[in-house]
Amino acid sequence: MVLSQDRFRESIANYRSYSSCVVAGRFLLQTKCISCLLEYFGVFVAELLEMNQDRIDKVMQFSLAVSRCVHEEDWKLRELGPIHLIKYVYLADLAYAREHGETYTGTKWIFNHFGPWAAEVHDRIEPAMAKINAYSKKIDSKYGDDFTRWGIKSYEEADEVYRQNREGLPMDVCFDVERVVKEFGNATSDLLNYVYLTEPMQCAAPKETLVFHVAEQKAEYVLEQQQKQRQQQQQKTQSKEQAPKKMIEERSEQKTNVKQREGLRPKAIKKRKNRLEKARASFAEKARERVRLRKERLQRQIAPRYDEVFEEGTRKLDELAGPPLEESQGTLEFSESIWKSPARKNIDDGY
């Protein structure tokens, strides 16, 4: 369906000047205008939310199924908690953004205390687990708060969930989620450390919304570096292939020159051979002498001397270091600018 400027202005029920500025890109659409446009095209916000919720559910179900199938031998690693499921949905969005420049679920992630957080993803845990008949387990914590673990009872059920959701998920999402679930499982500390070092987290401060275009920039940068490395490797390979040809040509030229010299100056050629033989013998003798001296140095062990000179030197070094630090207690405060400092990023990452 084609939407002209007049129809666009009618659909958002607004002034001509405002619609012109929106079309020109000078103004952003208000939420009310977006709802009017969706209604004009026969698309409702509830349908869009349902689509995103379905994607969130599939990623969580896929993650739990992978965890159950991979950790068949160890039942402790089969179950995942809410924090693990949420982080795996975030990593699915990150993997999708590296290829497409936008997230897979359309979730608005924020930098929270335990990394990326989205309330709508947390609210989808129980409905998503109920769809695949996953069981929940309440576990007492030494810190006073109970926490939940979700799991799938049998390997056959997990394999069925795995196959169904893999067909409905993009290949890059499946590959990356399966990789990180195999690597971290329900190891909370390792998973959080991995998540904190991802590109959107390194470019944000607490309570800020995470941006995913940096992930696409890094992926493009890494691709460029890989192409440069391949080109350099190809150049090295070509030079290695050409080297034997050059050597053959040089040797043929040397043989020709030798033949010419033999025909012209046989006595000079004989003297030259004698000098070369003497030089080789002298070089071999020097090499043997260096090896002998090196073995002697390795076998010789010099014991350290703790005498007055040593004590005087350590005393001088202590004086240069200044007085010893006194033990104290207090609060160490950092500037808020540290979150955006280059120290949190790897310069070689290109973002």
Are 29 and 136 within one domain? no
Are 31 and 134 within one domain? no
Q: Dmax over Cα atoms in the chain, in whole Å?
A: 107
Are 15 and 53 within one domain? no
Q: Domain for residue 75, yes or no? A: yes
Assess whether pLDDT exceeds 80 at residue 161: yes
Mean pLDDT of 37-65: 75
Show contacts of 191-194: CB within 8 Å, 24+ apart.
191/83, 191/84, 191/87, 192/83, 192/87, 192/114, 192/115
Assess whether pLDDT exceeds 70 at residue 3: no
Supply the angle between the helices 155-168 and 45-70 in degrees, to the nearest 10. Answer: 140
Can you give the pLDDT at residue 144?
A: 45
Are 25 and 114 within one domain? no
Per the structure, how many domains does the chain have?
Answer: 2
Q: Which residues contact 105 (CB under 8 A, 6 or more apart)?
A: 52, 55, 56, 59, 89, 92, 93, 121
Are 23 and 62 within one domain? no
Give this prediction's pTM.
0.60
- Residue 100 Cα distances to 74, 95, 104, 218, angstroms: 36, 9, 9, 13
Q: How confident is the model at residue 272 (pLDDT cuts 50, 70, 90)?
A: confident
8 Å CB contact between 128 and 57: yes
Place of tokens 């207090």: 330
Q: Domain for residue 252, yes or no? A: no
Are 148 and 195 within one domain? yes
In the structure encoding, which two tokens stand for residue 104, read together? 């897979």
Mean pLDDT of the chain: 78
CA–CA dist 85, 147 (Å, integer) = 13
Q: Domain for residue 160, yes or no? A: yes
Assess whether pLDDT exceeds 80 at residue 85: yes
Domain that holds residue 13: 5-40
Are 151 and 198 within one domain? yes
Q: Domain for residue 212, yes or no? A: yes
8 Å CB contact between 200 and 91: no
Length of the chain counted residue by residue: 351
CA–CA dist 160, 140 (Å, integer) = 31
CA–CA dist 91, 87 (Å, integer) = 6
